[in-house]
Amino acid sequence: MKVSLFSGTMPAAILIVDDDEVMRMLLRQFLEGEEYDVAEADNGHSALEKLGERSFDLVILDIAMPGIDGPGVCAHIRSSIDDPPPVLMITALDDEKSIERSYSAGAVDYIRKPLRWPVLKNRIRYILGSHRAKQELELLTRNYEMILDAAANGICGVDGAGAISYINPAALDMMGFRSEEVQGKHYRQIFCLAIPGGEDFTEDCCPYFHQPELNTTTTWDEARMRRKDGTAFLVDFRSTPIRQGQRLVGGVLVFADVTERQEAAELIRYMANHDSLTNLPNRNYFRRRLPQAISLAKRYSRILCLLFIDLDRFKPINDQFGHGVGDIVLVQVADRLRHTLRTSDSVCRLGGDEFVILLESTETVEGATLVAQKAIELLNEPIEANNHICFIGASIGISVFPKDCTDAETMLRNADIAMYEAKKKGRNCWQIYNG
């Protein structure tokens, strides 16, 4: 048995429609000799009934028939069957008008009587092969569209004129559009992109339409894209040209909403640089910030003051009331210190009950001592924690750049030494490093 063009070893099914019984018999003998599966109908009504009962891979249809003629049957086939089989017309007429009607009704080809069997044989093979290729392409397209429709990334296709030809549900959801609002629109009407750090949403996301030499994918990481409602969100965006030879025929846009990723990255950065209990900047942040502050002080020839704070009488609170109460005390200490400073200054928790204040805006050492005295007064006020009244104080050491140090490490060490001198003086006071 010959291997058919359709369904593995199953022969292609062909319906012969002709009111001439002799012609139907000759066609059946020929087609069955080619090992096709053949059915017959002697008029248009019978043909439509058979087409409603089973599927065929090809219909060979006489143009001139009583009742519904060939073009009429062909038009019914094209309009009433979801995936209509190709129709090959046969005619004994030299009638250009009938042939024109046949093509208008959807026929793929025609052949004249008397039939030349080798010509018919090859015409049928060509039509079946073309139809099979069309079906396979449509199936492949549907499968690809199903995959693209299920993708989490936004995917959009544009044609050679820049019009949107395809957009998947994920893209529509991200941007807040309905499919009918974007299909056929120029991509620049829909895709408003701003480069990272930019405020102008006019970036051309398909630059290859205006740069013919551009053949590679253009990428934007953490760009911003505008939704239909005018709000914006962060995206990683990729735009790739599609070319046939040297001719640009369109492009593919792929993008992902990275807002959550960016928020997670910012949270990680924040956690790495902030104390989880007090939300103050931590030692990690301080060790980067102090050298920067010294560099700025050098550049503008100004002083920089560092206050090293160690709480007095904090350990007995932990020992007597527990760490839960101690944590509440530390949170309130952080709040009090934070509210003593100007926005240009900063307070950090180094760990335990140690804090530092970096004064970048003070113009005199006296200004630093005033801040230190204010901090001591605030920390001398009682702190209520879980129905316990806690009394603490603070010993503060002050180091001044460039008076007693030239680098960050020395400045921190000098402030620490001065803090211990304050403790030796009886605690609850401040001391300037004096070498």
* Residue 244 burial (CB count, 10 A): 9
pLDDT of residue 141: 67
Token couple for 428 = 């609850």
**For residue 113, what are the contacts with CB-CB under 8 A and spacing of at least 6?**
23, 90, 91, 92
Q: How far is CA 28 from CA 15, 17, 31, 41, 374, in A?
A: 9, 11, 5, 11, 109
- For residues 247-257, average pLDDT: 93
Mean pLDDT of 284-300: 95
Cβ atoms of 400 and 385 within 8 Å: the answer is no
All domains in the chain, ordered by first residue: 13-146 (3.40.50.2300), 152-261 (3.30.450.20), 274-432 (3.30.70.270)
Residues 39-64: pLDDT tens digits?
999 998 999 999 989 999 999 999 88
Q: Residue 416 and residue 309: Cα distance in Å, rounded?
A: 8
The pLDDT of residue 3: 35
Q: Is the pLDDT of residue 34 over 70?
A: yes
- Beta carbons within 8 Å of 209's beta carbon, 6+ residues apart: 162, 248, 251
Radius of gyration of the chain (CA): 42
Instruction: State the pLDDT at residue 4.
Output: 40
**What is this structure's pTM?**
0.56
* Mean pLDDT value across residues 402-409: 95
Arithmetic mean of pLDDT, 345-370: 94
Of the candidates 353, 270, 264, the residue with the CA atom closest to the CA atom of residue 316 = 353
Place of tokens 């934007």: 220
Round to whole Å and give the CA distance between 78 and 329. Answer: 83
**pLDDT tens for residues 110-142?**
888 888 999 999 999 999 988 887 877 777 767
Please determine, for residue 239, whether its predicted confidence score (pLDDT) is greater than 70.
yes
Q: Where is pLDDT greater, at 2 or 123?
A: 123
**Residue 6 confidence (pLDDT) above 70:** no
Per the model's pLDDT, the better-predicted residue between 131 and 238 turns out to be 238
Q: What is the mean pLDDT of residues 6-19?
A: 79
Note the Cα 115 to chain centre separation in Å: 60
Q: Is the pLDDT of residue 2 over 90?
A: no
Q: Which residues of 1-40 are buried (b: 16+ CB within 10 A; e: fewer)?
A: eeebbbeeeebbbbbbbbbbeebbebbbebbeebebbbbb
Report strand pairing: 193-194 vs 13-17: unpaired
What per-residue confidence (pLDDT) applies to 9?
A: 59
